Chain A
Amino acid sequence: MNQRIRRLAVALLALYAILFVQLNVIQVGRKSNLDADARNTRLTVRTFNDPRGEITTIDGKVIAESVRSEPASEHPWKRVYADGELYAHVTGYYTFAYGATQVERVANDVLAGRTAEQQVKGLASLFDGGDTTGTVVTTIDSKIQAAARRALGEREGSVVVVDVRTGAVKALWSFPSFDPNLLTTEDDDLAGSIIQYLNDVPGDPLLANSYQQRYMPGSTFKVITTAAALDAGTIGLGSVFAEESEFLPPQTTDPIANYKNKVCGGDLTEVFRRSCNTPFARTALELGPQKLTAAAQRFGIGESLPFDLPRSAASTFGTADYFEDNLPLLAIGGFGQGNTQMVPLHMALVAASVANGGAMMKPYVIDSTRDHDGRLLDRTRPSVWKQAMTPESSTILTQLMTEVVRNGTASCCFQLANGVQSAAKTGTAQLNGPGEPERSHAWIIGFAPVDTPRYAIAVMLKGTNAEISEGTGGRLAGPVAKAVMDVALTR
């Protein structure tokens, strides 16, 4: 029997050897395939159950953090957003079943402590209970952001403030917003229905309208048309435009009119200050499709904004070929009507480029990332995105825009506190066709102080029902911009 027992031992050993081989195949050989399987939620869960660092404003206010869940919870940590609605479009949300958005998404690795640098530091502190999570410091200033919300109130629209020298976004507000704390519930179905609801309600609160939507810019676009013509040399400060109430472009019998058919004309400063339409229609036509579309491209129109938050919209103007056959649309595009659509953040950058010698900076909202001990991991280095115009043209535009505040369409409403001189351009984008009730987007873009520019701003009130005139944009959006800029300039 002994020989059989020995053979049995060998046979059983062989069976266990097979188990060991198969175990290696699964746990080592096929590991990456298994981990990558879409049906495998383990990594998501583990990541979700890890602690996660904070998101703060530039002035140190914590706007997202992880706190311990109540004992019986399914997940050990709960994400808490202080003043969630105010920062929702910056922080985004971090949910188990519906993923993450905004900074929570783009800076996920840093927050979760999974960048290579944090991992190495984590190894070193393995035995003293080191926490590898990282902190994301945003460029948002809590005071400016709060001022933006306060000034806009419960009107649909966006307020964006950028640092003209760096492109750092100091305020990124649009109404309506939402409270991300609603989505961190442990009840995934409830979170799903809330997301569904937020998707369905008017105003798209889940969308950061400030940079994920585009709107007809109205007369604020005249800054771009003017910059293009100044660069091309087709106009200058000495240019004089005919006094007229309307102008007939080629290829049509339908004339282009000034607001309320007012007679409007004079030198460049005058027509810019009063925001006449016909001079810019003529300027656009004189430049022609090639030059104006090329200038629009120099401003970054047609490209998604190189923002560090996800899914930026792209501003649109139109192609040269298209305009060759549709010159009237080129003419009205010259003052921001027709097919022209601009992202509010982009308009703030347009104003900032005027203030920054024509250099348009790359916008960013992540200032720096830090490890758990506060040591710097990475800092965003400001960089130029576009040289939108020559420095000479920017100097002239600064004068033109300063005049708008002094004596023009923004004089009512953009006089800053303490006598700080500002520069601006207003816009009233007419949305209604002839005979329909009047509806417009009210815009203002500007910057201050004029002599040493710090901040640029864009304010857009969406689809207002006010009576349309060349002053509408300034009258509605101007006070919002002033209130925000007054706060910004104290920072």
Chain B
Amino acid sequence: MTAPDYSIANRRRSIELGLVIAAGIITAGAYTLASLGKNSVIPPRILPFLGVLLAVLLFAHIAVRRLAHGADSTLLPIAVLLNGLGYVMIARLSERLAGLQTTWTFIAIATFVVVLLFVERVNDLARYQWHFFGAAAVLLLLPMVPGLGFSSGGARIWVNIGPINFQPGEFAKLALALFFAGYLSERGSLIARGTRQWGRFTIPEPRDLLPLVGAWAFSVVVMVGQRDLGSSLLFFTLFVVMVWVATERAGYLALGFALFAGACFAAYHLFDHVQTRVAIWLDPWSRYDGKGYQLAQAMFALGSGGTSGTGLGLGDPTRIPEAKNDFIFAAIGEELGLFGATAILLAFVVIIGAGLRTALRTQRPFEKLLATGLTTILGVQAFIIIGGVIRVVPLTGITLPFVSYGGSSLVANYAILALLIRTSDASARRLGEIPDRPTIRERWEARRARRHEQTPS
């Protein structure tokens, strides 16, 4: 028997280290350029900035090296690059928000490490599927609670507890993905096989299907009630994709699209704000002085950026309402041009690739579904908001993962990233790319068990 070869995993970590440092240098460079462009000064605290930045990035990298040595090498660098470019743009838009975003980045990276630390075996999470369902339900309902929830920008998706405001929906999507993965990995084949005949169609036992449809309907109804169309669309897509992948039956995809079309039709006729969204999507210009203003400004921003952009700090993205948030992609498109905007698109394509590769590599259905679901969340959420900003789809307010300003979004997305990395690491462990040593908790439990044996009863 030859000695196990762990060089693949070691090489992944070296690549990750190099890419993370590159992302840090790009961020610091962009930060300097933005300051030069805006105020013609090199930022006075650029060296401490670079120092702290590299320290945080190395902290995240070392956490991965220690806790998930076999994981994919691109996920963390791409996420920190997106985070860094988003930060530069936010700092360029508002000094005050930059400070807050710094704090949230620290918290998000801490969350990332904590998730890696506590979730040692992803498969264990399947057990808690109903806890996640309950958590998702509570999180989704929280903004509706009088005294806790409040509206901002037309959507009642915010919760205020003490000094902290957050968007529970950002965490609900993670909980829902965990629930769907758990439920479908257990019952996916049952649902797929179908036991009852209904005309020409074989349909599964309602008993198997009901909780799932209930969960979906619940989340959609809550989101529509909260007027958060973007999240609603995201949950819907997540649900349809996960059922389709789990059951391998295209009928569900068709059913999903049919339901989706019906929901769109109903929403269009039921809600004024949906009609407005569609109208400004088709023609923002005739409503320039009203609801179309934001999209029109985004068009102007992207147009003025052109191929190579105005240069960081040299554009005028403050003219776009909510440039720091939903419209940060337009601000990037203005100052970094088609090249920079395409780089953001490619970054998400790389995340999707790495996430789905993780899903393909693992043998466990739960992990497969979870990785698929989490990747879908990141990929589709970015598509919905970028597509909304550049008028591929109607605009629905939602954050651009890792890039937009916002604590809840950043923390939730780093948690998603940690779970993807953990899943990726789990398959590396099973494929023998890294030693399959017991985890810290397992060692601790084993020791307790040994001690228990040794102790005479």
Q: Does B360 contact A6, Cβ atoms closer than 8 Å?
A: yes
- Chain A residue nearest to B246 (CB atoms) is A1
* Segment of A28-36, A79-87, A260-268 in the binding face: A28-36
Does chain A have a CB within 8 A of B134? no
Instruction: A303 to B375: give the CA distance in the assembly, Å.
Output: 73
On whether A23 and B349 interact (CB within 8 A), knowing A1-B365, A34-B300, A42-B304, the answer reads no
B304 touches which one: A8, A19, A34, A76 (CB < 8 A)?
A34
Instruction: A4 to B356: give the CA distance in the assembly, Å.
Output: 11
* B288 surroundings in chain A (CB, below 8 A): 39
* Segment of A10-18, A115-123, A292-300, A371-379 in the binding face: A10-18
Does chain A have a CB within 8 A of B90? no
Q: Shortest distance in angstroms between B130's beta carbon and chain A's nearest beta carbon? A: 23
Q: Does A8 contact B299, Cβ atoms closer than 8 Å?
A: no
- Chain A residue nearest to B378 (CB atoms) is A12
Does chain A have a CB within 8 A of B319? yes
Q: Does A15 contact B372, Cβ atoms closer than 8 Å?
A: no
Does chain B have a CB within 8 A of A237? no
B333 touches which one: A3, A9, A13, A23 (CB < 8 A)?
A23
Q: Does B352 contact A9, Cβ atoms closer than 8 Å?
A: yes
* A490 surroundings in chain B (CB, below 8 A): none
Query: Can you list, as one digit per residue, whether each of B360-393 has a CB less than 8 Å from chain A (1) or not (0)?
Result: 1000010011001000100110010011001110
Does chain A have a CB within 8 A of B310? yes
Does chain B have a CB within 8 A of A27? yes
Q: Does B360 contact A5, Cβ atoms closer than 8 Å?
A: yes
Instruction: A27 to B302: give the CA distance in the assembly, Å.
Output: 6
A16, A39, A40, most chain B CB atoms within 10 A: A16
Q: Does B316 contact A16, Cβ atoms closer than 8 Å?
A: no
Q: Does A16 contact B345, Cβ atoms closer than 8 Å?
A: yes
- Chain A residue nearest to B38 (CB atoms) is A76
Report the interface size for chain B: residues with CB under 8 A from the other chain. 49
On whether A27 and B360 interact (CB within 8 A), knowing A19-B386, A19-B392, the answer reads no
* Segment of B121-129, B256-264, B334-342, B411-419 in the binding face: B334-342
User: Which positions 33-48 of chain B face chain A at CB distance < 8 Å?
Assistant: 39-40
Instruction: A37 to B314: give the CA distance in the assembly, Å.
Output: 20
* B305 surroundings in chain A (CB, below 8 A): 27
Query: Can you list, as one digit per residue, whether each of A218-234 has a CB less than 8 Å from chain B (1) or not (0)?
Result: 00000000000000000
Q: Does B342 contact A23, Cβ atoms closer than 8 Å?
A: yes
Q: Does B316 contact A42, Cβ atoms closer than 8 Å?
A: yes
User: Which positions 269-303 of chain B face chain A at CB distance < 8 Å?
Assistant: 288, 296, 299-303
- Chain A residue nearest to B188 (CB atoms) is A1
Does chain B have a CB within 8 A of A239? no
- Chain B residue nearest to A27 (CB atoms) is B338
* B300 surroundings in chain A (CB, below 8 A): 34, 37, 39-40, 42
- Chain A residue nearest to B372 (CB atoms) is A5
* B356 surroundings in chain A (CB, below 8 A): 5-6, 8-9, 12
Q: Does A22 contact B365, Cβ atoms closer than 8 Å?
A: no
Q: Does A28 contact B307, Cβ atoms closer than 8 Å?
A: yes
Query: Can you list, as one digit per residue, whether each of B18-59 has a CB less than 8 Å from chain A (1) or not (0)?
Result: 000000000000000000000110000000000000000000
Q: Shortest distance in angstroms between A301's beta carbon and chain B's nearest beta carbon? A: 47
Q: Does A35 contact B360, Cβ atoms closer than 8 Å?
A: no
Q: Does A26 contact B303, Cβ atoms closer than 8 Å?
A: yes
Instruction: A26 to B353: give the CA distance in the assembly, Å.
Output: 26
Q: Shortest distance in angstroms between A7's beta carbon and chain B's nearest beta carbon? A: 9
Instruction: A28 to B341: give the CA distance in the assembly, Å.
Output: 13
Does chain A have a CB within 8 A of B244? yes
- Chain B residue nearest to A39 (CB atoms) is B288
User: Which positions 297-350 of chain B face chain A at CB distance < 8 Å?
Assistant: 299-307, 310, 314-316, 319, 333, 337-338, 341-342, 345, 348-349
* A6 surroundings in chain B (CB, below 8 A): 356, 360
Does chain B have a CB within 8 A of A193? no
Does chain B have a CB within 8 A of A24? yes
Identify 19 residue pairs between A and B in the complex whose beta-carbon atoms are under 8 Å apart, listed by A's number: A4-B244, A6-B356, A8-B241, A8-B356, A12-B376, A15-B379, A16-B345, A19-B345, A23-B333, A23-B341, A23-B342, A26-B299, A26-B302, A27-B305, A27-B306, A27-B341, A31-B304, A31-B306, A42-B300
Q: A1-B365, A6-B360, A26-B303 are in contact. List 8 more A-B contacts (CB 8 A).
A: A9-B352, A9-B353, A22-B392, A23-B390, A24-B338, A26-B390, A30-B299, A42-B316
